[in-house]
Amino acid sequence: ILNVEQSPQSLHVQEGDSTNFTCSFPSSNFYALHWYRWETAKSPEALFVMTLNGDEKKKGRISATLNTKEGYSYLYIKGSQPEDSATYLCALWRDDKIIFGKGTRLHILP
């Protein structure tokens, strides 16, 4: 069974603080890892697609790193804002399809 694990499940962060969370996956036969942001009552929105070991991608205050040899990716948010409140999903490409983790639910406290 292929598991994509995300931790923590839920996270409360004070506005202005920085935070990070993890996506773990089997390291064999790696092709691509995707990060999505999913706000309540909206569509999941693509953040990054990462394909190479050591990749680092950035979009404004959000960045992600990838370690395919040890099977993990980190998502970082710098200076959290209320609009960052969402569920962050990672998804691994495997066997011609995407396998999603359960997500990390991020709450930004004013």
Partner 1 sequence: ETGVTQTPRHLVMGMTNKKSLKCEQHLGHNAMYWYKQSAKKPLELMFVYNFKEQTENNSVPSRFSPECPNSSHLFLHLHTLQPEDSALYLCASSQSAGEPADTQYFGPGTRLTVL
Site of interaction with partner 1 (CB under 8 A): 4, 31-32, 34, 36, 41-46, 49, 51, 89, 91, 93, 96-103
Nearer to partner 1, 34 or 84 (CB): 34
2 dihedral zone (left: phi>0; alpha: psi -120 to 50; beta): beta
**Nearer Cβ to partner 1 (77/90):** 90
In the bound state with partner 1, the residue whose beta carbon lies nearer, of 80 and 90, is 90
- Omega of the bond leading into 8 within 30 degrees of 0 (cis): yes
Contact 80, 19 (CB under 8 A): yes
Cβ 42 to partner 1, closest distance in Å?
A: 6
Question: Which residue bears the tokens 């292929």?
Answer: 2
Rank residues 13 and 32 by Cβ distance to partner 1 and give the closer one.
32
Task: State the minimum distance, in angstroms, from the CB of residue 50 to partner 1.
Answer: 9
User: Exposed/middle/buried for 74, CB within 10 Å: 0-12, 13-18, 19+?
Assistant: middle
Residue 15 beta carbon to partner 1: minimum distance, rounded to whole angstroms: 27
From 9, 22, 35, 7, select the one nearest 73 (Cα to Cα). Answer: 22
Shortest distance (Å) from residue 49 CB to partner 1: 5
